[in-house]
Structure 1
């Protein structure tokens, strides 16, 4: 249960003639810890992992009714590293403030990029743990963007949703690459009680003043809820100015059974004009002990082809110890097994 703090504004300030509307602030978060074993060839590592089912975080969000159907809101969300107790309140996951009304929502700050949402939300493992897809940021498309302006369509559109986004690179106009670090993206989708389909396009500028570069991202996704069973699929592509391109496909499903949920996903990643491709199979189970607490287990197998040296990863384990990094092993398969507990608050 989320902790909510409601404050009724001081409405009797007759001397100043001021009146404040009702506002609400909510504290929320996730603590998710587990144990993961990851291997590739003869190298392996077993360690405490985190965010194997849902990303560990803590946040504060609030709204204020401004009257006339208009409200103001903020969202501050920071990452937690619960296996070591680290994690600063820097709110790098999201830090936005905005206005919402009948014409939609406009907000400013740091948040998810428009092109990240489909590969994450239409993944049975929701971008977490050893089962997660690797179909985002394949060639550098951003997961989050800073200095962003985001507009979201109003909710009263018969199931249609979408957003347009621009992130400033904050480079001077005199720079030879004034667009450096900027991003532009858009997403449009339709969802009802059963069907959910969406597409997104985006472009990120990077590089240096003498060698400007850009990464283009595009994806489409669909899911259909049959009740207990929800199959889903997506296609994602990233391409850069060097001519590199990676296409990814995923087929997956979730199946609710009693207090548990089974998850399965198969994804394939194809490099343009190269045999250095890879595929991944993931199977998992989540046992909901309550609305807030769950136990989970996930197995993943990644098949590398050619010179591909991809690795099954989980947060807190996938980077491997800096003093003993996992050597790149082209064409060698990788496996991952993870068990953990997740608690929402």
Structure 2
């Protein structure tokens, strides 16, 4: 009886703490069936994973407007069930304190400069799979060993400022993202640098009735060309438009860059990419879609060309 009383007392004391905490399981399964042709190879029927993931996130209210939170996100291949890299929490593993001052985050996560620019414009399938933006530069991007400050939202403006600790293994890196979202206007800018490699980009997106127009321009500077005759810098750009009709979305986007720097197949080529897509939203969490995407590269013998005709299902949970 005494042990029961003690256990009941501990539970009573713990109850308010547990009431302040919450943990959420969430994720996305996004899989498509595609007919893919790469270079001069024969066309192949494939099942393709489109950045599926599984995550846990939690928040504890510490009082006085202060909150502690964490996020763990695992990337998985929905076509065969394997994880997407050797690191299990390869998409995010972070802990954060937030309040009226904004937020301080430690750990691993995707650079804010990417979300502020290329990802925001990739409206048709969240910049995933074969129709992802093949041209956008990852110069200076780092995901691991980071400390970041996130500003509060002030009249539609917010920012992210991140430092990557090289830990004596690689150069320190920096990443900056700025966003403005107010009414139909959405603007963004990103900058990242690690060693001699850096990139900076600006993005705009405007909603006009059933239409949404977007685009970005990015400058990539590698510091050192990665292939003979390649330039160490170049411009990359993309334009996108979406038209909505009921539960249907119609998408078109076009991107292009010249040979140089070191992204897109190590600077061997420039290229253009075209994507036409259709989404039908069965609910807020589930959609079916189809798209055709093509990369027309300047590499000889169509070595880096790609085109795919796809149909898929995406479900968020």
TM > 0.5 fold call:
yes
Secondary structure of the 1:115 match is helix
Q: Which residue of 2 aligns with 1:147?
A: 145
How many residues get paired?
A: 291
- Flag the 1:41–1:153 CA change in 2: closer, same or farther, 3 A: same
Q: Aligned-pair RMSD on alpha carbons?
A: 2.4
**Whole-angstrom CA distance in 1 between matches of 2:48 and 2:109:** 24
Q: Which residue of 2 aligns with 1:237?
A: 219
> 1:107-127, CA deviations, whole angstroms, 9 ceiling, x for partnerless residues?
100001133221122222331
Q: Which residue of 2 aligns with 1:259?
A: 247
Contact 1:130 1:338 (8 Å CA) reproduced: no
Verify: 1:169 aligned to 2:159, yes or no. Answer: no
Shift of 1:169: 0.8
Q: Which residue of 1 aligns with 2:93?
A: 95
Q: Which residue of 2 aligns with 1:119?
A: 118
TM-score normalised by the chain length of structure 1: 0.78
Shift of 1:21: 5.8
Q: Which residue of 1 aligns with 2:180?
A: 190
Q: Which residue of 2 aligns with 1:59?
A: 55
Contact 2:162 2:175 (8 Å CA) reproduced: yes
Contact 1:135 1:236 (8 Å CA) reproduced: no
- Flag the 1:227–1:63 CA change in 2: closer, same or farther, 3 A: farther
Shift of 1:78: 0.4
Contact 2:136 2:236 (8 Å CA) reproduced: no
Verify: 1:269 aligned to 2:257, yes or no. Answer: yes
Q: Which residue of 2 aligns with 1:319?
A: none
**Whole-angstrom CA distance in 1 between matches of 2:186 and 2:27:** 26
Contact 1:34 1:340 (8 Å CA) reproduced: yes
Q: Which residue of 1 aligns with 2:77?
A: 81
Contact 1:109 1:149 (8 Å CA) reproduced: yes
Comparing both structures, which one devotes a greater share of its residues to helix?
A: 2
> 1:262-311, CA deviations, whole angstroms, 9 ceiling, x for partnerless residues?
11100011234999421111000111112222111110122222xx26xx
Give runs of aligned pairs for residues 1-345 of structure 1, distance below 5 A.
12-13=12-13, 22-39=20-37, 40-51=39-50, 55-87=51-83, 90-117=88-115, 118-125=117-124, 126-137=126-137, 140-142=139-141, 144-155=142-153, 157-171=154-168, 180-205=170-195, 214-243=196-225, 244-272=232-260, 276-305=269-298, 308=299, 329-330=301-302, 333-345=305-317
> Structure 1: 5+ residue runs without aligned partners?
1-9, 172-177, 206-213, 310-328
Contact 2:134 2:273 (8 Å CA) reproduced: no
- Flag the 1:338–1:19 CA change in 2: closer, same or farther, 3 A: closer
**Whole-angstrom CA distance in 2 between matches of 1:68 and 1:221:** 36
Secondary structure of the 1:120 match is helix
Contact 1:183 1:202 (8 Å CA) reproduced: yes
**Whole-angstrom CA distance in 1 between matches of 2:59 and 2:79:** 32
**Whole-angstrom CA distance in 1 between matches of 2:210 and 2:132:** 21
**Whole-angstrom CA distance in 2 between matches of 1:116 and 1:63:** 25
> 1:2-42, CA deviations, whole angstroms, 9 ceiling, x for partnerless residues?
xxxxxxxx78439xxx9666111110011111111221334
**Whole-angstrom CA distance in 2 between matches of 1:33 and 1:331:** 26
Contact 2:236 2:257 (8 Å CA) reproduced: yes
- Flag the 1:332–1:122 CA change in 2: closer, same or farther, 3 A: closer
